[in-house]
Structure 1
């Protein structure tokens, strides 16, 4: 096993509007295109309620009543179908140069799944994969969604782990376009679960899986990168 020698900035700012975090990601990716040797970054945060659609996502998985909810619906450049973010869900955005890891998209997706599986194992929860699908399930309920964008081997977007969110927002969509497998949260098995504890376990698992040393920071060097049209 390699030593945990590659540095990775860790930024955990709490609750962040989706468009702000999206801008951060685009800025960090643009910087690493210009400077491929700059350190990796892991953003760990929460979002106010928001729905996001992957680049090629179909509106057939968005139910009509969503228009009356007043919750933003944003089309972004990741893969995958529609999903929902809200407080109580831990969202992770790794900005990694896979040239410094393993330049393989399938490997990267499986590693993100493994981070979640290892993070929840100490809680007594057994996360598993489902062949042909991306994400992590516990007892048949999907607790973590994954959607990524990789350009020139630099990653953005990432994973969303349902720790203790209000799941009602998922009722207005067909999450990830999967009709026969319900969404779940860790709080369904562990009602007294502590968000901060799970966040810490995700940090530890990420560090081990990707062989990085996380360096907490209160600031990020950001470039002015305009958002694309929604």
Structure 2
């Protein structure tokens, strides 16, 4: 087994248009389907305001006319319902070869939750899981969403953590199709928190949970916004 199997390439991007990140993920996944020996990857970034719908998402959770949206709307191949991304929300896209980790999608979802629960613990916040639902909650309010797509055990899409976003965009949808629980951001518990500081904690906790050494990569020439 090549020594690089315990290494993960880390791309810390600032803000990237959703379509650029989507294309980038698909390229990385396709490359690893063809050549499973390539390194795992973790992309951390923020998006301009955008709504995304999972492949089976229902229109009943959308409170606006899709043809007259002031923000981009994209139906994508991940699981789950509609969600919202915007600056101040950290998005993580792991491109992992689960054949090196555990070929079990439920295990993978729980591991992503564990990364985020550990990040919250850094701030002495107790993130929780809710049985039968995917994501992480603080005081019964959802602060992190997860939606994935896996092809031949290579992952794409991933998780989002509300750090300090403008939450108004969530008012126009039923986030993740969960009508009886509201969404929240970490800034409500930790005023002044920034995505910049949280990124470092996500990278460290991700490495711990997946037993990977993260190697930060240069962004020069790579899908810069």
TM class by shorter-chain length?
Answer: over 0.9
2:188 is aligned to 188
The whole-number CA distance in structure 2 between the counterparts of 1:148 and 1:221 is 26
Give the gaps of 5 or more residues in structure 2.
none
Does the aligned pair in 1 maintain the 2:5–2:100 contact within 8 Å?
Answer: no
Separation in 2, partners of 1:64, 1:215? 42
Q: What residue number does 2:36 align with?
A: 36
**Residue number in structure 1 paired with 2:54:** 54
Give the superposition deviation at 1:122: 1.3
User: What's the offset of the Cα at 1:68?
Assistant: 4.2
Q: Which portions of structure 1, spanning 4 or more consecutive aligned residues, are displaced by more than 3 angstroms?
A: 65-69, 219-222
Unaligned runs of 5+ in 1: 223-230
Question: Is the CA contact (8 Å cut-off) linking 1:5 and 1:211 kept in structure 2?
Answer: no
> SS state of the match for residue 36, structure 1?
coil
Residue 82 (structure 1) aligns with: 82
Moved more, 87-96 or 64-73: 64-73
Residues 1:153 and 2:164 aligned together: no
Tell me the residue number matched to 1:226. none
Contact 1:65 1:172 in 2 (8 A): no
DSSP-derived class of the 1:64 partner: coil
Structure 2: how far apart are the matches of 1:219 and 1:194? Answer: 21
Q: CA deviation at 1:221?
A: 9.7
Pair 1:144 & 2:144 matched:
yes
Post-superposition shift, 1:64?
2.5
2:168 and 2:66 map into 1 onto residues whose CA distance is 12
Kindly state the Cα deviation for residue 208 of structure 1 after the two structures are TM-superposed.
0.1
Aligned to 1:170: 170
Superposition pairs of residues 178-217 of structure 1, within 5 angstroms: 178-217=178-217
Q: How many residues are paired up?
A: 219
Length-normalised TM-score, structure 2:
0.94
CA contact (8 A) 1:66 1:172 kept: no
Equivalent positions of 1:63-78 (< 5 A) are 63-64=63-64, 67-78=67-78
RMSD value over aligned CA atoms? 1.6
